[in-house]
A and B are shown apart, each in its own frame.
Chain A
C-alpha cells in the first residue's frame, strides 16, 4: 500500500481522462463522475486513518531519494484537507446533476470538475515547491474553464479579470521559487526548511517570505489582494461557485500555513506580525462587504474573505491553541461555505433572483430549506453546539495567549457581524409575506436539497462530535508546531 496517498490524486485524474471520451452521454458522465468521486471519499478516509495509525506518509515518486526526486507527503493536515475536498467535490457534483443544465454538461463540465479536484488534492499532498506550482496551475486551468463554461457576457468579462490576476500571481510564484532556489539550492520542502534553519533567517529569506505571502495571498484573497474575488466568484453558476468558494481560496490559505510554519518560523516578529495585520484587515473589510450588500451571493462571497482572515490570524499567533483553532476552522469553513453557496443556489433557483429585496416569505412553502439555512447560518457564526464554535474559540484563546488582544477582540466581534449579515438573508428572504415566483413549480427543490443537507449534517456532526475529531486535528497541529517531525519523515534515510 505504499502508493496509497497517490489515490486521491489519481482517481479524479483517471475520471477526468475517461470522461473526455463521451461528452454527449450525460447519464454515463453523471454516474461515472458520481461513483468515482464517492470512491475518492472512501479512499481519503482510509488515508486519514492510515496517517493516524502510522504517522506521516511519504512517497518518493519513482524511488528517487528524498531531496532529489519529487516527494509526496501526506501528514494529518493534508490528509484531512484531502478528505474535506473529496466530500465537498462529491456534494457539488450531486448538486450539479440537477442544477447546472444539460448544455453545460455536454461540454466537458465533469472532466473539468475532476481536473480541479486533481489540482486541489495534489496541492495539498505535494512536498515539493515547484510541484506545488504545477498543481496550482492544474487547479487554475480547470477553474478558468469552469468559470467561463457557458459563455454568458458576465462570465466572459469576469473570466478575463480572474485569468489576468492569476497569470500575474503565477509569474510571481515562479519568480519567488527562482529566488528561493538561488538562496537554498533545493526544491524539496523539507530540505528547504532544513537549509533555512541552518543559515538562520537572513534578510533575503524574509523578503522571500513576504513574496510568498503576496503570491498565496493573491490566491487566497487576503486584505489588499482580494479585489478580484467578489466580481469573479459572482459570475459562474452556483455549483461551480460552491466548488471555488470552498476549495480554491483554501489552497492559498493552506500554502501560507505550510510555508509559514515549515520555512519561515525564525523571524516571526516581522513576518508573522505582517500576517496578523493583514488577516485582521481582511476580517474588517470582509465584514464591511458582507454587511453592505443586499445580494445573497455577494454576502456569502464576502464571508469567504472574513473566514480567510480568521484562519490566518490563528496561523500568525503560532501558539498551539491558535493553530489547532485554525485547522478546525479551515475544515469547518470549507464544509459550511459549500453548504451556504448551494443553499443560496436553491433559493436563486426558486426565485430567479439573488436580490434580497425581491424575495420574501420562503419559509411558508419551503420549511426544509429555511431550517437548513438557519442551522448553517448559526454554524457559520459559531454558535456553540455547531461546527464554527470550537475553531473560533481556540483561535481567540490563542490570540489572547499571544497577547494579540486587539486582533482577538476583532475576531470575536466579527462573529456578531457575520451573524447579522447572514441573518439578514434569513429574515428578509424567509420571513415576511409569501410571494409567487415565476416558474418555481419546475424547480426540483427536493433533489437539489440533498447535497446541502448532507453537508450541513456533516458540519453538525463536526461540531457536536468535536471530541472525536480533536485527536486528528491535534496530530495535524503537532506537525505544524514542530517542523522537525515533517523533515524527519521526508528525509529519513540520511
Chain B
C-alpha cells in the first residue's frame, strides 16, 4: 500500500513542479495546492499505513492507527490554507495593479536594481 501511495505522491509532486514552472500566476497557485496535498499525503504515508481502528478510545480496539501524523497534517492543512488564501488575494491585487498575470512580464528592472 505504501508503494502505491509513494507513486501517487510522486506524481503529485511532479505535476506541482511542472505547474509552478509555468508562466501564469494561477497555474502556479494550483501547483502550490498540489504540492501541499502531496506533502500531507506523505506525512500520512510515512506514519505507516498499518490497519487499525480510528484513534478514538471509544472504539475499544486492540490496535489503533498512529494519531501523531494526523495531528501534524491537521496543523499543516490549516497553515497552507491560510497561506493559499493570502496568495490568492495577493494574486488578485497584483492583477489589478500590474495588469498582468504573466510572471515574465512581472520581471522588469524598474525600481528593482
Residues in chain B within 8 A of chain A (CB atoms): 20, 25, 28, 32, 35-36, 38-40, 42-43, 45-48, 68-69, 72, 75-76, 79-80, 82-83, 86-87, 90-91, 93-94, 97-98, 103, 106, 108, 110-113
Contact = CB atoms under 8 A, between A and B. Distances in A.
B46 A156 contact: no
A167 B97 CA distance: 23
A290 to B, nearest CB: 14
B79 A157 contact: no
Nearest to A174: B39
A174 B98 CA distance: 33
Given A157-B106, A160-B25, A151 B97 contact: yes
B93 A156 contact: yes
10 contacts: A130-B72, A134-B79, A144-B90, A160-B94, A163-B83, A174-B43, A178-B43, A179-B46, A181-B47, A293-B113
B111 A175 contact: no
Contact of A144 (B46, B79, B86, B103): B86
Interface core residue of A144, A157, A298 (most chain B CB under 10 Å)? A157
A156 B72 contact: no
Contacts of B80: 167, 170-171
Contacts of A158: 112
* Majority SS at the chain B contact face: helix
Given A134-B79, A156-B94, A163 B86 contact: yes
B82 A156 contact: no
Contacts of A61: none
Given A160-B25, A164-B28, A181-B47, A171 B35 contact: yes
A163 B79 contact: no
Interface residues of A, number: 35
Contacts of B94: 156-157, 160
A170 B46 CA distance: 17
Contacts of A153: 97-98, 111
Nearest to B33: A167
Nearest to A173: B39
Contact of A175 (B42, B69, B90): B42
A423 to B, nearest CB: 21
Nearest to B44: A178
A159 B76 CA distance: 22
B113 A178 contact: no
A478 interface: no
A155 to B, nearest CB: 10
Contacts of A156: 90, 93-94, 97-98
Contacts of B91: 160
Interface string A397-428: 00000000000000000000000000000000
A148 interface: yes
A65 interface: no
A182 B49 CA distance: 11
B39 A175 contact: yes
A153 B32 CA distance: 23
Contacts of B20: 164, 168
Nearest to A234: B112
A130 B75 contact: yes
Contact of B98 (A157, A171, A234, A293): A157
A159 B90 contact: yes
Contacts of B82: 141
A134 B83 CA distance: 13
B26 to A, nearest CB: 12
Nearest to B48: A182
Contacts of A145: 86
Given A159-B90, A174-B76, A298-B113, 8 more contacts: A151-B93, A156-B90, A163-B87, A167-B80, A170-B79, A174-B39, A174-B42, A178-B42
Interface string A119-139: 000000000001001100100
Contacts of A483: none
B79 to A, nearest CB: 5
B85 to A, nearest CB: 11
Q: Sorted from nearest, which 9 A-B pairs have the closest CB atoms?
A: A182-B46, A178-B46, A178-B43, A174-B39, A156-B94, A171-B39, A171-B35, A178-B42, A167-B32
A179 B48 CA distance: 11
A181 B66 CA distance: 12
Contacts of B68: 181, 187
Nearest to A164: B28
A231 interface: yes
A45 B57 CA distance: 45
A490 interface: no
Interface in A305-343: none
A182 B106 contact: no
